[in-house]
Structure 1
Amino acid sequence: MLVRCRFNSGADLPPHEHGLFYSPQTRFTRLDVGREYRVHAVLVYQRGVLVLVPDRDGRPGAWPVELFEVVDGSLPSHWKFATRDDGEYGYQAVFGYPRLVEDEGHINALMEVEPAALRLFAEEAARES
């Protein structure tokens, strides 16, 4: 799956997204408008949809899907899906590479920038490019 960044400002998000810890003043400075990004997962978080893509430095980030337009909606054949029971303030579902789906702690390890999780993400990114 490939997406193109349309916006990098919270002001461009629909009002319901502001409840996902974003405000109109939020700037997504790690994303470049017009750039295409390979999606490594689709996450349902606090009832919003996020896409997991590497930023300009290759670090993974989970961004509101509304920041992007879909360029290629094809999904990798090895992706998996699982629901989560993290309540309304956590993840409800994840669709992506196997480790992300099978290991409930992996997404948090990515967001915490843990070296082992980042290595696995880099390996997955190289596999899909």
Structure 2
Amino acid sequence: MLVICNSISGKSLPDDARIMGETDETLFEPLKNGMEYKVYGIMFYTTRIDFLLCPEGENPLWVPSNIFNVLDDKLPPDWGCIITEKTIDYSDLYDAFGIISILGYFELIRSYQHYIGILERDAGELQKFHSYRLSC
């Protein structure tokens, strides 16, 4: 799946999509307007969808889909999906943040340690992510 960034500003988010404390002053850096990004995961909240992206030379980050247009809607064959509320460990994401479902590469949806490790910038989990990214 491939998307193009059409804004890096929180101003582009409707009020009901500002679920993680975003404001008009929020900047989704290091993203750049007009740049294309490969999507490595999709996370579904009640009122928004986030994409897992990895800008060149950076680490992965989850970003609201509202600031992108989809260029290529094909999903990779090595992806799966979980319903967080019904999945051990991931149910915490439903309870704490209202995350309903995650779609992505198998390590992302089968290893909660990997999911958290990406967010917390764990070196081993980031290495796993970058290995997957380079294999695509």
How many residue pairs are counted as aligned between the two chains?
128
CA distance in 2, matches of 1:126, 1:34: 22
Tell me if the contact between 1:31 and 1:56 (Cα under 8 Å) persists in the aligned partners.
no
Cα offset for 1:56? 3.7
Mind listing any 5+ residue stretches in structure 2 that lack a counterpart? 86-93
Matched residue type, 1:64: P
For structure 1, which segment, 5-14 or 53-62, has the greater mean C-alpha deviation from structure 2 after superposition?
A: 53-62
Tell me if the contact between 1:81 and 1:96 (Cα under 8 Å) persists in the aligned partners.
yes
CA RMSD for the aligned pairs? 1.5
Structure that is richer in strand per residue: 1
What TM-score comes out, normalization by structure 1 length?
0.92
CA distance in 2, matches of 1:113, 1:75: 25
Mind listing any 5+ residue stretches in structure 1 that lack a counterpart? none
1:116 corresponds to 2:124:
yes
Q: 1:26-79, CA deviations, whole angstroms, 9 ceiling, x for partnerless residues?
A: 011210110000000001246421000002423100000011100100110110
What TM-score comes out, normalization by structure 2 length?
0.87
CA distance in 1, matches of 2:97, 2:24: 21
Structure 1 residue runs of 4+, over 6 Å off?
A: none
Structure that is richer in helix per residue: 2
Cα offset for 1:117? 1.0
Calculate percent identity across the aligned residue pairs: 26
Tell me if the contact between 2:17 and 2:47 (Cα under 8 Å) persists in the aligned partners.
no
